[in-house]
Amino acid sequence: MASTDEQHLSALRTYWKRHQAFPPMAKLCEVVGLSSTASVFELVGRLTEAGYLQRVEGRIAPTRKFFGRPVVGSVRAGVPEPAPDDDIELLSIDDYLVDDPNRTFLCKVRGDSMTGAGLLDGDLVVVQKNSPTSPGDIVVAVVDGNVTVKYLRQARGRYFLQAANDAYPDIRPAGSLEILGVVVGSFRRTNRHTGRAG
């Protein structure tokens, strides 16, 4: 894709982020910095052919590729290495973490009981409903009316919940234990000023 089209695509992504919709074609001229609607039609045609846009009921709409972010290979956390020269693929957060959007929800972690599993206070966990569960899974569960995220464990034929922090005792249900879903991933936003995880 030409660099000018990449700049126009960036402008469209910025506009979509702010408005969650595209404006009429006449307004698109201003958004992408083109002088005529004919130029905008040509741009939309190229971006549609490249898979970034689609037409839905006579209007343009983003595709999943539109929301993709470049994956520039892997990056070492140890000794730096040369940057990869390979082709860059596009990947969206949904592509990476969500297998079935109809069965997936997010939960914000509160507290430090799961730090040993890499789940910190403020993290968002990706939870898949109606999934087979087995001891050892990290689950979001309702135990005796209270919601928590813990390891699912089993002993003597009975299920209980276990933290990933030795400061917290096991939770053995006095009455009910309902599994809302299995944690299949997590993510967090880092503090942009200090570089520390927030």
Residue 106 maps to which CATH number? 2.10.109.10
Residue 11 maps to which CATH number? 1.10.10.10
Annotation marks residue 10 as catalytic: no
Q: Examine residue 60 and state whether it is found in any structural domain, yes or no.
A: yes
In the predicted model, what is the mean pLDDT of residues 29-57? 91
Give the model's confidence band at 197: pLDDT under 50 very low, under 70 low, under 90 confident, else very high: very low
Judge if 126 and 180 occupy the same domain.
yes
Judge if 50 and 118 occupy the same domain.
no
Give the three-class secondary structure for 94: helix
Share of the chain above pLDDT 90, in %: 58
* Those residues with Cβ within 8 angstroms of residue 55's Cβ, 6 or more apart along the chain or in another chain: 48, 61
Report whether 22 contacts 59 (CB < 8 A).
yes
**What length does the chain have?**
198
Q: pTM of the entire structure? A: 0.69
Judge if 105 and 147 occupy the same domain.
yes
The answer, yes or no, to whether residue 132 has pLDDT greater than 80, is: yes
Residue 9's domain comprises: 3-67
Q: Examine residue 197 and state whether it is found in any structural domain, yes or no.
A: no
Judge if 173 and 119 occupy the same domain.
yes
Catalytic residue among 3, 150, 176, 186: 150
Judge if 126 and 54 occupy the same domain.
no
Give the model's confidence band at 198: pLDDT under 50 very low, under 70 low, under 90 confident, else very high: very low
> What is the per-residue pLDDT across 35-46, written as a single tens digit (0 to 9) for each?
888 999 999 999
Q: How many structural domains does the chain have?
A: 2
In the predicted model, what is the mean pLDDT of residues 84-110? 81
Q: Examine residue 192 and state whether it is found in any structural domain, yes or no.
A: no
Judge if 165 and 116 occupy the same domain.
yes
Give the three-class secondary structure for 87: coil
CA max distance for the chain = 73
Annotation marks residue 150 as catalytic: yes
Task: Tell me which of 18, 46, 67 is where a domain ends.
Answer: 67
Give the model's confidence band at 117: pLDDT under 50 very low, under 70 low, under 90 confident, else very high: very high
Q: Examine residue 84 and state whether it is found in any structural domain, yes or no.
A: no
CA distance 49 to 46: 5
Task: Tell me which of 50, 67, 84 is where a domain ends.
Answer: 67
The CB density around residue 172, as the number of other CB atoms within 10 Å, is 15
Catalytic residue among 39, 113, 131, 134: 113
The angle at the Cα of 94, spanning 136 to 143, to the nearest 5 degrees, equals: 35
End-to-end CA distance of the chain: 36
Q: Examine residue 145 and state whether it is found in any structural domain, yes or no.
A: yes
Residue 32's pLDDT is what? 92
Residue 191's pLDDT is what? 72
- Give the DSSP letter string of 115-175: GGGT--TTPEEEEESS----TT-EEEEEETTEEEEEEEEEETTEEEEE-SSTTS--B--SS
